[in-house]
Amino acid sequence: MEELATAFRRPAEEKLAAAHSAAARARRLHGGESQPQALDTHPALTGLLPGGALRAGAAYSVEGSTTLAMALMAGPSAAGGWCGVVGIPGFGAEAAAALGVDLDRLVLVPQPGPGWLSVVTALVDALTVVVVAPPAQVGAAEAARLAARLRQRDGILVACGPWPQTEASLTVSDSGWWGLGAGHGHLTGRQVSVLAQGRGTAVRPRRMRLWLPDAEGRIRLADTPTVTGGHEPPEPGWLHEVAG
């Protein structure tokens, strides 16, 4: 736990400098050759993404669950990639680490201010994956400029909310908690339905049910239907949700 707290407190400026150095080394190593075009994500999410992986140079959107956005980031982070989180003050370090996110290689900008898009662009220059909760709607021209930067740097953007021209959009619905009886008991898990829609007419929409998380804090496919209805409480000990 102490090591986790130390990694989380490491200054963002120090981490970003290290990420820039790592990115520069990678570009020199590859000598201008193309980087890998697909990055593995959380195993439970492969069926939701075109090609079963995250595509370098692409943007994705997630609506209804910050936890799901962090899970997309977990695979590249665990594989050694540098990642960033912008505009999520309630980010939960312990929960992210449980998903596989390496906090030593995570840059946090919880309050980016009105220049948040410039912050995201700067992070894309150095990081593998950038997760952002946009405080305002993004225009087509701004999204196009950032998309060009993503392709140039082989970066990946995950937006917690609507975003123009995404490789895939994931929308969480039909959320229900398990573990509560008639006014008593403890929350033990949450099931959701996730609709994935990809770019182009050839990509058919896909819907899956997931534990997000199960009783052991894992994200996995759900094999039983959830019981919905009633007021949904906040996630205890987990990532605070940011609705799209």
- Contact at 8 Å (CB) between 166 and 60? yes
How far, in whole angstroms, is CA 23 from its chain's centroid? 20
DSSP state of 121: H
How far, in whole angstroms, is CA 74 from its chain's centroid? 8
- CA–CA dist 92, 110 (Å, integer): 11
Helix (H) or strand (E) holding 209: strand 206-211
- CA–CA dist 34, 94 (Å, integer): 34
- Contact at 8 Å (CB) between 156 and 150? yes
- CA–CA dist 156, 49 (Å, integer): 13
- CA–CA dist 136, 42 (Å, integer): 28
What is the residue-level pLDDT of the chain in tens, covering all 244 positions? Answer: 443 344 344 556 676 666 555 555 554 444 555 455 789 999 999 999 988 999 999 999 999 999 999 999 999 999 999 999 999 999 988 889 988 999 999 999 999 999 999 999 999 998 999 999 999 999 999 999 999 999 999 999 999 999 998 999 999 988 887 765 555 556 678 889 999 998 754 468 889 999 988 888 889 998 743 333 333 444 433 343 433 3
- 188 token code pair: 């033990």
3-state secondary structure of 61: strand
DSSP state of 233: P
